[in-house]
């Protein structure tokens, strides 16, 4: 527990499948004093996930749970759930975890499992969000932190960050611009959840102590 806080940080697992840059952002945030969550486990369904090395370097227990060893999705999810329980996990963060979870698992972790997605949901669910935003010609794009529900990339929205789309943007340039914001809002979303500042009612999220009064933004500036 960090100095100054009266409660133990919430034991949090981060589930990854690859690069793990969002997981790294969560780990760095949780290393700060008084952060209300600790990253107690990084779990990957792929042994070659690059993010595992980062977690090990930061002294975080890691686990590879390959879906290939299980007969179906439910069997994999039951094993996953058992590991989370055994580690005393209270919050789960999906961070580029590229597997659909069963409704059974999602329900067990209802309002305790969050995800980051690289679009302003409910626009552009699924893959290739940056290409699709450019194709659609939207002026703003961004990312979303949300509670996980059984449907892919659905669930009550906690935070969103908006970025402008600039002339000449490529999917890669846009992806970098959005990823920078993911690394800001995902730790913030975890912090809010772990600190008990979120409530979900009628599938809408209320944030205790959130400030209103933001100014509208016209994009592009003309």
Question: Counting contacts by CB under 6 A, is residue 179 touching ligand GAR?
Answer: yes
Cα 97 from chain centroid?
Answer: 9
Alpha-carbon distance 190 to 168, whole Å?
34
Closest CB to ligand GAR belongs to which residue? 96
From residue 17 to residue 56, what is the string marking binding to ligand GAR with x (rule CB under 6 A)?
A: -xxxxx----------------------------------
Tell me if 113 is assigned to a ligand binding site.
Answer: no
Number of residues that bind ligand GAR (CB under 6 A): 14
User: Of the candidates 93, 98, 96, which has an alpha carbon nearest to the alpha carbon of residue 113?
Assistant: 93
Tell me if 20 is assigned to a ligand binding site.
Answer: yes
Alpha-carbon distance 59 to 53, whole Å?
10
Tell me if 152 is assigned to a ligand binding site.
Answer: no
Tokens of 149: 């529900």
Could you tell me the smallest distance in angstroms from the CB atom of residue 212 to ligand GAR?
Answer: 26
Q: Is 117 a catalytic residue?
A: yes
Which of the 8 DSSP states describes residue 32? Answer: S
Taking the least distance from each CB to ligand GAR, the nearer of 2 and 138 is 138
Could you tell me the smallest distance in angstroms from the CB atom of residue 18 to ligand GAR?
Answer: 5
Question: Counting contacts by CB under 6 A, is residue 101 touching ligand GAR?
Answer: no
Tell me if 115 is assigned to a ligand binding site.
Answer: yes
Question: Residues near 26 by Cβ (< 8 Å), separated by ≥ 6?
Answer: 12, 14, 39, 93, 95, 186, 187, 190
Pairing assessment for the beta strands 198-201 and 140-147 based on DSSP bridges: unpaired
**Subset of residues 113 to 142 that bind ligand GAR, contact rule: CB under 6 A:** 116-118
Which of the 8 DSSP states describes residue 55? Answer: H
Binding site per annotation, positions:
20-22, 73, 98-101, 115
| Binding stretches for ligand GAR (CB under 6 A) | 16, 18-22, 95-96, 116-118, 153, 179, 182
């Amino acid at each position: 527990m960090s100095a100054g806080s009266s409660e133990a940080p919430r034991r949090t697992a981060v589930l990854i499948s690859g690069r793990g840059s969002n997981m790294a952002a969560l780990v760095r945030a949780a290393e700060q004093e008084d952060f209300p969550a600790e990253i107690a486990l990084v779990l990957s369904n792929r042994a070659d996930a690059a993010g595992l090395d980062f977690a090990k370097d930061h002294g975080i227990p890691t686990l590879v749970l390959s879906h290939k060893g299980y007969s179906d999705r439910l069997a994999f999810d039951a094993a996953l759930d058992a590991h989370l329980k055994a580690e005393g996990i209270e919050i789960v963060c999906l961070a580029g975890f590229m597997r659909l979870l069963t409704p059974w698992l999602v329900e067990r972790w209802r309002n305790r499992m969050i995800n980051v997605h690289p679009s302003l949901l409910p626009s552009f669910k699924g893959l290739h969000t940056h290409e699709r935003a450019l194709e659609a010609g939207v002026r703003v794009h961004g990312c979303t932190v949300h509670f996980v529900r059984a449907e892919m990339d659905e669930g009550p929205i906690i935070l969103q960050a908006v970025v402008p789309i600039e002339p000449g943007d490529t999917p890669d340039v846009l992806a970098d611009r959005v990823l920078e914001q993911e690394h800001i809002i995902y730790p913030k979303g975890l912090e809010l959840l772990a600190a008990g500042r979120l409530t979900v009612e009628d599938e809408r999220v209320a944030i205790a102590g959130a400030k209103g009064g933001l100014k509208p933004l016209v994009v592009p500036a003309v």
